[in-house]
C-alpha cells in the first residue's frame, strides 16, 4: 500500500464528485441535439447545484429529523460507492472495505433512506414515488447481482477492482455470457437511474414520475445534495459498466504514467457512454409503470442466461 | 482457463444466440415478429453449419447449410407470412401463462436440459459437444412455446423452431445426421407445412377462429 495507491484513491473521488454533474449535463446536451432542441449549457447542473446551495432551506411542517439527515446519508453512500469503483486505477486502498456485493448494498441503503424520507412528510406524491422506487429497486437488484456474479465467476473474485484487472488482462475473445450480461446491465442502469423506459428524468409534472416525486418536498442545500447524489449514482453505474465490460485503459500497476493516461481514457469513455445513453433514451418510449416489471424481468432473464451460458460453455 | 480457437468461440456465441432467440420467441405476442425471429434463428443455424463445415471439412454439411438457407430462412417464413396475410391473424391472444411466469419456467427448463445433456456431452467426441445442452434447451423451449400458445399459427412456429433445435443438436453431437435422414426430415417439414397451411383454412372455416382451444371439445349435438 504505497503513496501512489492513495493518490489514485483521492483522484477517483475528486473525479467522481467533479465529473458526475458534467456527465448529466452532457447527456442532457446530447438528448437536446437529438431531439432538435437548442441544447442547454453542459455546465447547467453545476449552476443549479450552486444556486441551490445559496438558498435558504424550507422544511415541511411535521418533518422528522430523518427528513433532514437523509440527503447526507444518500450523498455519503454514493461517495463511498465511488471510492470502491475502479474508474481510473485498480489499486485502491478502500476496496478492502467493500466488495461488489457490498456495493449493491450501499446502493440499497441509499434507496431505503431516500424512500423513507419521501414518505416522511406524508404527501401523496412522496409515498407514491417511494412505493414505485421500491418496486423498481427490488426487481433491479437481483438482476444487478446476477450481472456481478457472472463477472465474479469468470474472474473468481468479488472485489470489483480485481474483476476489472482480471478482465482487462485476459485473452481477447468472444464471450457470449458477458454480452448478455452487458445488455442486462444496461437495462438495470436505465431503471435504477430513473431514465426513460422506466422514468422520465426531465419532468416534475407527470403522474408517472418516480425519482422526481420523491424529491418534491426538498429545497435548497438538501435538494442540491440529492441532485448531486443522483448524478453520482449515474456516474457510479457507468463506471461499474466500464469496469465490467470495457476495463481497458485503467491503470493496474505502479506506473504513475499509466494513471495520468487513465484520465483522458476515462473522459473518452464517459463521452461515448453519455452519447449512447442519450440515443437509447431518445429512441425508446416510456413504458407504463406496470410494464416496468416486465422490462426488469427481461434484464434478470438475460443476466441469468449469461450465467447459465457461462456455466455450460465456459465462455 | 485455456483460450478456445476463434472459430469455436464464434460457434459458442452462435449457440448462445440461438438460445436467446428461443427466449425472444417465447415472450413475443405478435405473430409477424415471431415468424421473423424464426427466420433469424434459421439464419444463425445456417451460419453455424457453414462454420462447422469449414472447420471439420465435412462436405455434406455444406449441403445441409444450403438446405437450411432455402427452406428455413427463405421459403417457410415466406409461406408463413403469406398465410398470415391471407388469414388476417396478427396477434396471438393472451398466452396460457403470463410472460414473466413463462420466462421463469423457461429458465428452469434451461437448467434442467443443461443437466440432462451433461452425460451426453461427456460421451460425444466432437469439438462442439458443449453446445448439446443448448440444443436440448432450444427443443424444450420450443415445446413450451407450443404449450403456452392458443393460436395454430404460433404453434406451427414453435414446431419449426423445435426442428431447428433438433438439427442443431445432431450437428453438435455428431457433426450432422446422414444426408438421407436430413433430406427426409427437410421433406417432412415441407410437406407438414403445406398440409398445415391447408388445415388452417379448414379450421377457420369450421370454427371461425384459429384458436385450437375449440378442437378440444368433442361435438355432441349436431
B15 interaction partners in chain A (CB closer than 8 Å):
176, 313
C-alpha grid cell, residue B204: 377457420
Q: Which residues pair with B211 in a beta bridge?
A: B151
pTM: 0.84
What average pLDDT does the segment A230-243 reach?
A: 90
Q: Is residue B86 part of a domain?
A: yes
**Residue A13, number of CB atoms within 10 A of its CB:** 17
B6 interaction partners in chain A (CB closer than 8 Å):
173-174
For residue A296, give its domain range.
3-313
Residues B168 and B117: their CA atoms lie apart, in Å, by 13
CA dihedral B72, B76, B81, B85 (to 10 degrees): -170
Q: Alpha carbon of A301 to those of A73, A115, A287, B20, B166: distances in Å?
A: 32, 27, 19, 10, 24
Q: Is residue B115 part of a domain?
A: yes
Residue with cell 420523491: A214
Least confident of A163-167, A203-207, A233-237, A242-246: A203-207
By CA distance, what is B129's nearest residue in A? A313
**A-B contacts (CB, under 8 Å):** 64
Q: Is A304 on the interface with B (CB under 8 A)?
A: yes
> Are residues A88 and A251 in contact, defined by beta-carbon separation less than 8 angstroms?
yes
> Are residues B154 and B36 in contact, defined by beta-carbon separation less than 8 angstroms?
no
3-class SS of residue B89: coil
What average pLDDT does the segment A196-210 reach?
A: 74
B106 interaction partners in chain A (CB closer than 8 Å):
301
Which pLDDT belongs to residue A1?
Answer: 55
Which pLDDT belongs to residue A312?
Answer: 80
Q: Is the pLDDT of residue A29 over 70?
A: yes
Residues B189 and A222: their CA atoms lie apart, in Å, by 67
Residue with cell 454439411: B61
* Distance (Å) from the alpha carbon of A217 to chain B's nearest alpha carbon: 36
Q: Is residue B19 part of a domain?
A: yes
Residues B38 and B19: their CA atoms lie apart, in Å, by 12
3-class SS of residue A251: strand
Which pLDDT belongs to residue B200?
Answer: 78
| Number of domains chain A is built from | 1
**Residue A109, number of CB atoms within 10 A of its CB:** 16
Q: Is A268 on the interface with B (CB under 8 A)?
A: no
- Name the nearest CA neighbour of B196 among B76, B17, B63: B76
Task: Give percent above pLDDT 70 in chain A.
Answer: 97
By CA distance, what is A174's nearest residue in B? B9
Which pLDDT belongs to residue B43?
Answer: 92
The H or E element that residue A198 is part of is none
Q: Is residue B153 part of a domain?
A: yes
Of the residues A167, A307, A312, the best mutation for testing chain B's interface (the one with the most B CB atoms within 10 Å of its CB) is A312
Q: Is B173 exposed, middle or buried (0-12, 13-18, 19+ CB in 10 A)?
A: buried
- Per-residue pLDDT tens over the stretch A261-300: 778 888 888 889 888 988 888 888 777 878 888 888 888 8
> Are residues A278 and A170 in contact, defined by beta-carbon separation less than 8 angstroms?
no
For A41-171, where are the alpha helices, taking DSSP H only? 44-53, 65-84, 100-120, 124-155, 160-169
Which pLDDT belongs to residue A75?
Answer: 92
- Per-residue pLDDT tens over the stretch B171-191: 888 777 777 888 888 888 888
In sequence order, what are the residues at sequence separation of 6 or more whose Cβ sits closer than 8 angstroms to the Cβ of residue A150? A177, A178, A181, A303, A306, A307, A310
Q: Is B103 on the interface with A (CB under 8 A)?
A: yes
| Number of domains chain B is built from | 1
Q: Which residues pair with B151 in a beta bridge?
A: B211
What average pLDDT does the segment A22-51 reach?
A: 87
Q: Is residue B210 part of a domain?
A: no
Which pLDDT belongs to residue B141?
Answer: 92
C-alpha grid cell, residue A105: 448494498
B27 interaction partners in chain A (CB closer than 8 Å):
298
Q: Is A176 on the interface with B (CB under 8 A)?
A: yes
Query: What is the SS3 assignment for B153-197?
Result: HHHHHHHHHHHHHHHHHHHHHHCCCCHHHHHHHHHHHHHHHHHHH
> Are residues B145 and B158 in contact, defined by beta-carbon separation less than 8 angstroms?
yes
Q: Is A257 on the interface with B (CB under 8 A)?
A: no
Tell me the pLDDT band of A205, cut-offs 50, 70 and 90: low
CA dihedral A98, A102, A104, A106 (to 10 degrees): -80
Tell me the pLDDT band of A76, cut-offs 50, 70 and 90: very high
Residues A231 and A45: their CA atoms lie apart, in Å, by 9
Which pLDDT belongs to residue B1?
Answer: 43
- Per-residue pLDDT tens over the stretch A146-197: 999 988 888 888 888 888 888 777 777 778 888 889 999 999 998 888 787 7
> Are residues A211 and A300 in contact, defined by beta-carbon separation less than 8 angstroms?
no
Flag residues of chain B having pLDDT under 70: 1-3, 92-95, 218-222
* Distance (Å) from the alpha carbon of A307 to chain B's nearest alpha carbon: 11
Mean pLDDT of chain A: 84
E strands in B9-111: none
Which pLDDT belongs to residue B2?
Answer: 52
Which pLDDT belongs to residue A175?
Answer: 81
Q: Is A62 on the interface with B (CB under 8 A)?
A: no
Q: Tell me which of A4 and B43 has the higher pLDDT.
A: B43
- Name the nearest CA neighbour of B84 among B191, B204, B190, B185: B204
Which pLDDT belongs to residue A291?
Answer: 81
Q: Is A70 exposed, middle or buried (0-12, 13-18, 19+ CB in 10 A)?
A: buried
For residue B190, give its domain range.
7-204
Residues A68 and A217: their CA atoms lie apart, in Å, by 11
In sequence order, what are the residues at sequence separation of 6 or more whose Cβ sits closer than 8 angstroms to the Cβ of residue A275? A26, A30
Q: Is A184 on the interface with B (CB under 8 A)?
A: no
B131 interaction partners in chain A (CB closer than 8 Å):
313
Q: Alpha carbon of B63 to those of A212, B59, B68, B171: distances in Å?
A: 59, 7, 9, 13
- Nearest CB partner across the interface for B107, out of A176, A179, A301: A301
CA A173 to chain CA centroid, nearest Å = 27
Amino acid at each position: 500500500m504505497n503513496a501512489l495507491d492513495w493518490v489514485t484513491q483521492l483522484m477517483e473521488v475528486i473525479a467522481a464528485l467533479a465529473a458526475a454533474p458534467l456527465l448529466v449535463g452532457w447527456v442532457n446536451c446530447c438528448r437536446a441535439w437529438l431531439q432538435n432542441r437548442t441544447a442547454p449549457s453542459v455546465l447547467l447542473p453545476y449552476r443549479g447545484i450552486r444556486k441551490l446551495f445559496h438558498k435558504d432551506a424550507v422544511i415541511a411542517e411535521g418533518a422528522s429529523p430523518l427528513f433532514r439527515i437523509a440527503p447526507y446519508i444518500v450523498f455519503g453512500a454514493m461517495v463511498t460507492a465511488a471510492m470502491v469503483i475502479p474508474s481510473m486505477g485498480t489499486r485502491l486502498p478502500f476496496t478492502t472495505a467493500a466488495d461488489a456485493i457490498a456495493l449493491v448494498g450501499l446502493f440499497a441503503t441509499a434507496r431505503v433512506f431516500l424512500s423513507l424520507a419521501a414518505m416522511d412528510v406524508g404527501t401523496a406524491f412522496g409515498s407514491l414515488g417511494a412505493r414505485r422506487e421500491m418496486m423498481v429497486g427490488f426487481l433491479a437488484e437481483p438482476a444487478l447481482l446476477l450481472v456481478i456474479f457472472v463477472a465474479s465467476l469468470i474472474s473468481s473474485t468479488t472485489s470489483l477492482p480485481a474483476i476489472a484487472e482480471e478482465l482487462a488482462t485476459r485473452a481477447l475473445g468472444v464471450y457470449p455470457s458477458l454480452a448478455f450480461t452487458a445488455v442486462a446491465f444496461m437495462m438495470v442502469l436505465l431503471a435504477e437511474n430513473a431514465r426513460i423506459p422506466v422514468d422520465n428524468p426531465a419532468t416534475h409534472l407527470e403522474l408517472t414520475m418516480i425519482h422526481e416525486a420523491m424529491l418534491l418536498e426538498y429545497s435548497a442545500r438538501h435538494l442540491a445534495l440529492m441532485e448531486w447524489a443522483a448524478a453520482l449514482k449515474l456516474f457510479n453505474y457507468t463506471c461499474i459498466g466500464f469496469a465490467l465490460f470495457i476495463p481497458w485503459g485503467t491503470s493496474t500497476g505502479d506506473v504513475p504514467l499509466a494513471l495520468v493516461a487513465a484520465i483522458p481514457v476515462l473522459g473518452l469513455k464517459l463521452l461515448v457512454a453519455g452519447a449512447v445513453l442519450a440515443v437509447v433514451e431518445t429512441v425508446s418510449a416510456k413504458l407504463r409503470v406496470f410494464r416496468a416489471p416486465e422490462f426488469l424481468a427481461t434484464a434478470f432473464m438475460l443476466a441469468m442466461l449469461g450465467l447459465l451460458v457461462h456455466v455450460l460453455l465456459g465462455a | 482457463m485455456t483460450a478456445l480457437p476463434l472459430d469455436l468461440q464464434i460457434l459458442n456465441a452462435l449457440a448462445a444466440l440461438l438460445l436467446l432467440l428461443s427466449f425472444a420467441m417465447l415472450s413475443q405476442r405478435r405473430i409477424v415478429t415471431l415468424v421473423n425471429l424464426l427466420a433469424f434463428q434459421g439464419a444463425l443455424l445456417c451460419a453455424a453449419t457453414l462454420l462447422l463445415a469449414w472447420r471439420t471439412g465435412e462436405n455434406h454439411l455444406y449441403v445441409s447449410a444450403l438446405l437450411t438457407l432455402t427452406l428455413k430462412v427463405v421459403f417457410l417464413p415466406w409461406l408463413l407470412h403469406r398465410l398470415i396475410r391471407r388469414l388476417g391473424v396478427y396477434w396471438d391472444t393472451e398466452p396460457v401463462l403470463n410472460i414473466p411466469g413463462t420466462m421463469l419456467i423457461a429458465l428452469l427448463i434451461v437448467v434442467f436440459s443443461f443437466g440432462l445433456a451433461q452425460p451426453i456431452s461427456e460421451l460425444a467426441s466432437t469439438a462442439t459437444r458443449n453446445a448439446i445442452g443448448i440444443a436440448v434447451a432450444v427443443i424444450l423451449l420450443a415445446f413450451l412455446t407450443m404449450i403456452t400458445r392458443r393460436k395454430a399459427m404460433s404453434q406451427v412456429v414453435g414446431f419449426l423452431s423445435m426442428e431447428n433445435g433438433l438439427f442443431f443438436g445432431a450437428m453438435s453431437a455428431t457433426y450432422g445426421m446422414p444426408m438421407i435422414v436430413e433430406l427426409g426430415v427437410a421433406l417432412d417439414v415441407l410437406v407438414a407445412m403445406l398440409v398445415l397451411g391447408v388445415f388452417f383454412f379448414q379450421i377457420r372455416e369450421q370454427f371461425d377462429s384459429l384458436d385450437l382451444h375449440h378442437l378440444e371439445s368433442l361435438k355432441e349435438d349436431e
